């Protein structure tokens, strides 16, 4: 059952969703715990060596803790509205200035992520004359397409 649940949670594009990844980690911990208990039982029955049970339990715990720590760091980064790792602010500023000739400067860029949705605010210094609505729509379309 755990193997099927892990497969269901781990397939598709849902791997980016932190909640689905946390559920998959929980199921994986259960799965590894069951496998560890079965392996320990077989080793104990075959050899009588009982220390294998706590050794495998600690090994499974370390694997789950390592994955949970990464997930926890990522959750904190998202909750504290940190910039997503795949977004290069300097490149974004340069690309926007090169793409829109009427844009002189891009500054005060803030990018954060809530769930799978990225959000952004920025200030654009423009060269007059320009049409505000048209420029805004072009910048927005460029950002949606490239970022």
- Look at residue 42 in the predicted model and tell me its pLDDT: 98
Domain end, chosen from 79, 109, 133, is at 79
Domain carrying residue 139: 89-146
- Position 58 scores a pLDDT of 97
Q: What is the pLDDT of residue 13?
A: 56
Last residue of a domain, which of 41, 58, 79?
A: 79
What DSSP state is assigned to residue 48? Answer: -
Same domain, 64 and 98: no
* Mean pLDDT per 10-residue interval, the chain, length 147 residues: 78 72 90 95 97 97 95 94 94 94 94 91 91 91 92
Same domain, 68 and 97: no
**How many structural domains compose the chain?**
2
Whole-structure pTM value? 0.68
Buried b (16+ CB within 10 A) or exposed e, 98-133: eebeebeebeebebbbeeeebebebebeeeeeeeee
Strand boundaries in 91-132, DSSP class E: 103-114, 117-126
Return the pLDDT at 12. Answer: 61
- Structural domain includes residue 42: yes
pLDDT in the model for residue 76: 94
> What is the structure's pLDDT at 51?
97
């Amino acid at each position: 059952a755990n193997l099927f649940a892990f497969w269901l949670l781990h397939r598709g594009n849902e791997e980016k969703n932190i909640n689905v990844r946390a559920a998959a980690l929980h199921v994986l911990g259960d799965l590894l715990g069951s496998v560890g208990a079965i392996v320990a039982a077989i080793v104990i029955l075959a050899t009588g060596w009982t220390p294998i049970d706590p050794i495998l339990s600690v090994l499974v715990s370390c694997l789950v803790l390592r994955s949970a720590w990464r997930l926890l760091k990522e959750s904190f980064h998202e909750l504290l509205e940190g910039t997503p790792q795949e977004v290069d602010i300097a490149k974004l500023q340069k690309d926007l200035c090169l793409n829109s000739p009427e844009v002189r400067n891009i500054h005060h860029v803030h990018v954060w992520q809530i769930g799978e949705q990225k959000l952004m605010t920025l200030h654009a210094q423009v060269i007059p004359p320009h049409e505000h609505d048209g420029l805004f729509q072009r910048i927005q379309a460029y950002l949606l397409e490239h970022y």
